[in-house]
Amino acid sequence: MTDHEKGHPGEEEPMPPPALSAHHPLQDVTHLLSGAGTAIPLFKVHMPENVLEPISKVLMSGYVGQGPAVEAFERALVPWFGNENVLSVNSGTSALTLALRLANVGFGDEVISTAMTCTATNVPILAMGAKIVWADIDPMTGNIDPLDVERKITERTKAIMAVHWGGYPCDLDGLNRVGRKYGIRIIEDAAHAFGATYHGRPVGSHSDFVCFSFQAIKHLTTVDGGALVCRDTESYKRGKLLRWYGIDRDSERKDFRCEEDVLEYGYKFHMNDVNATIGLEQLAHVGEVLRRHRENATYYRDRFQELPGVKLLDYRTDREGSYWLFTIRVPGRRTFMQAMKNAGITVSQVHARNDHHTMFKEFRRILPGVDQFIAEQVSIPVGWWLTEEQREFVADCVVRLCQ
Ligand SMILES: Cc1ncc(COP(=O)(O)O)c(C=O)c1O
C-alpha cells in the first residue's frame, strides 16, 4: 500500500474496532450454564431486567465504590435478617473470614465444623492458622449435630461453624445452648439459607455471626457479594473497620485516606455501589423467588412421600427452609443420576465431603453420619425457573426410577 492510499503521510490511521473473536468475553456462554441450554438446569441466575436502568446510572455517575447504594442495601437487608447489624461484603467467603477474625480465631485454635459443605466454609479456618475438628452430621438433614459438637469441645475450641445444608436450618437452639455453656461463639454459614426461618424468626437473628452469600446462583445475587450479620454491636463496629483494611471510612479526614492511625489490620472485603444496586433491585423479587422454590419443594415432598426408593430428608415444623437445594437420598444413586441425565434433567451432589480433601488430611476422623449422607445424597432442580410441566416431568422421572 502506498502512502497515498493510506492517507496523508504522517496521518494516524484510525484504529479499526476490535473484532469479536472467539475469545471475546461476549461469546456464547450456553455451554457454561447448568443444563448447557438443553437439560433442565439445577441452577439459574435470577437477573430482573429492572437492574439495567439503575446500574447504568451508577456506572456513569463517576462513583462506583462503597457509597450510598451499599448503605441503602444494608438497611434494606435488616428486615430479612431480623438484625440491625448488617455488614455487606464482596463475597460469602469474605463474610466467613471476617466472622472467624471477629471471633478471635487465631493460630493453633480449634474450630468445630462440618465436612458436608462447600470448601468455602472451611478454607478460611485454615487461612486463620486454626485447626478443624470435624463434628458429625445428622444423615437425615445434612446438618451438623449439636450433640457431637459438644463431644468435640476442648479448651482450645474457639468457634463452632454450622452450615444450613440446602437452606434447611440447623438445630440452632442446640448449637446456641452448647455455645453458651462453654462460652464459644457460633458462626452460621447461611450461604444457602437466605429467607429461611427458625422458630418463626429469620436466619440471621439467632447466633453470634451469620454469613450470607450473594454469589451468582443464590436466591439473591449481586453477581458476587455477601453479608455478615453480627449479634453484638461491638463486633459489628469492629467488623466495619476490618472489612476495609482497619480504616474508619466514617471519620472526618482532612486528607483523603491519611491521618488516621490504623489499630489492627483488616481486609479489602467491602461491597461496592454497583453490586449493591443489583442487590437492591433483587430484593424486590426475592420474596417471589423463595415462594417458587418452596412451592416446588412442597410438590416434591407430596409426590415422593410414599416412594420406596427415595428417602426424603427430615423437615420439622419449627423451621422453614429456603430450598436452595432439594436433596433426596437415593440408595442406587449412580444409576439414578445417569437416568436423570438421560432424561434431560440436571442433578448433582453439589458439594463433596470436605474432610477427604488432601488440604484437610491432618484433621480426618470417623464420621458415620457423613458416610451415610454422602453415599446417597443428590439434589434435583427445585428453583424458580421450573415451569409446572417441568416440575411434573422431574417428579414423574423420580417416581418411575425409584418405585
Ligand atoms: C455453603 C457455602 N458457604 C460459602 C460459600 C461461599 O460463598 P461465596 O461464593 O459468595 O464466597 C458458598 C458458595 O457458594 C457455599 O455454598
Question: DSSP readout, 288-327?
Answer: HHHHHHHHHHHHHHHHHTT-TT-EEPP--TTEE---S-EE
Domain count along the chain: 2
pLDDT value of residue 250: 85
Mean pLDDT on 368-393: 98
Q: How confident is the model at residue 20 (pLDDT cuts 50, 70, 90)?
A: low
**Helices within 36-152 (DSSP H only):** 52-59, 68-81, 92-102, 119-127, 146-151
pLDDT digits (tens, 9 = 90+) for 181-225: 999 999 999 999 999 999 999 999 999 999 999 999 999 999 999
How deeply is 285 buried, as exposed, middle or buried, from its count of CB atoms within 10 A (0-12, 13-18, 19+)? middle
Same domain, 307 and 267: no
Kindly tell me if the per-residue pLDDT of 140 is higher than 60.
yes
Per-residue pLDDT at 41 exceeds 80 = yes
- Give a yes or no: residue 15 inside a domain: no
Buried b (16+ CB within 10 A) or exposed e, 378-389: bbbbbbbbbeee
Residue 110 belongs to domain with CATH number? 3.40.640.10
| Percent of the chain whose predicted confidence (pLDDT) is above 90 | 90
> Are residue 70 and residue 189 in the same domain, yes or no?
yes
Mean pLDDT along residues 274-285: 98
Q: What confidence tens digit (pLDDT) does each residue in 282-314 have?
A: 999 999 999 999 999 999 999 999 999 999 999
What Rg value do the Cα atoms of the chain yield, rounded? 24
Of residues 9 and 96, the one with the higher pLDDT is: 96
234 plus 329 within the same structural domain: no
Determine the pLDDT at residue 6.
43
Tell me, using a 6 A CB cutoff, whether residue 189 lines ligand 1.
yes
163 lines ligand 1 (CB under 6 A): yes
Q: Which of 263, 283, 303 is the last residue of a domain?
A: 283
Q: Closest Cα to atom 10, ligand 1: which residue?
A: 92
| Residue 191 Cβ < 6 Å to ligand 1 | yes
Residue 5 lies in a domain: no
Please report, for the domain that includes residue 324, its CATH number: 3.90.1150.10
Pocket test for ligand 1, best of 89, 93, 119, 354 (most atoms within 8 A of CB): 93
Say if residue 301 is in the same domain as residue 181. no
pLDDT at 3: 43
Going from the Cα of 348 to the center of ligand 1, the distance in angstroms, rounded, reads: 16
Task: Find out whether the beta carbon of 91 lies less than 6 Å from any atom of ligand 1.
Answer: yes
Question: How do residues 324-358 score in pLDDT, each as one tens digit?
Answer: 999 999 999 999 999 999 999 999 999 999 999 99
Ligand 1 pocket, residue 204 CB under 6 Å: no
Residues 165 and 274 in one domain: yes
Same domain, 103 and 92: yes
Q: Given strand 377-380, what is the order of strands in its sheet?
A: 311-312, 326-329, 377-380
Which residues are CB-neighbours of 258 under 8 A, at least 6 positions away? none
Say whether both 252 and 228 belong to one domain: yes
Indicate if ligand 1 lies below 6 Å from the C-beta of 381. Answer: no
Domain-located, residue 357: yes
Q: Alpha helix (H) ranges present in 204-270?
A: 233-242
pLDDT of 5 reads 44
Same domain, 275 and 171: yes
Q: What is the DSSP letter of 109?
A: -
pLDDT recorded at residue 18? 60
**Contact indicator for 353, 119 with CB cutoff of 8 Å:** no
Cα separation of 138 and 112, whole Å? Answer: 15
Distance (Å, rounded) from C-alpha 352 to C-alpha 334? 15
Is any ligand 1 atom within 6 A of the Cβ of residue 167? Answer: no
Cα 117 to middle of ligand 1, angstroms: 9
SS3 content of the chain, % helix, strand, coil (to 5): 40, 15, 45
Q: Is residue 121 in contact with ligand 1, taking CB distance under 6 Å?
A: yes
Question: Where does a domain end: 283, 318, 344?
Answer: 283
**Residue 352 phi, psi (nearest 5):** -85, 155
Q: Are residues 231 and 314 in the same domain?
A: no
Cβ–ligand 1 contact at 113 (below 6 Å): no
Of 77, 76, 101, which is closest to residue 204 (Cα–Cα)? 77
Decide: 226 in ligand 1 pocket, CB within 6 A: yes
Ligand 1 centroid from CA 356, angstroms: 19
> What is the residue range of 313's domain?
286-402
26 Cα: distance to centroid of ligand 1 (angstroms):
26
Mutation probe of ligand 1 site: the residue of 122, 123, 213, 322 with most atoms within 8 A of C-beta: 213
> Given 239, 257, 283, which residue is the final one in a domain?
283
Query: Grid coordinates representing 393?
Result: 416431568
pLDDT-derived band at 4, boundaries 50, 70, 90: very low
What does the block give as the cell for 305?
412421600
Q: CA dist 393 to 41, 42, 328, Å?
A: 13, 14, 17
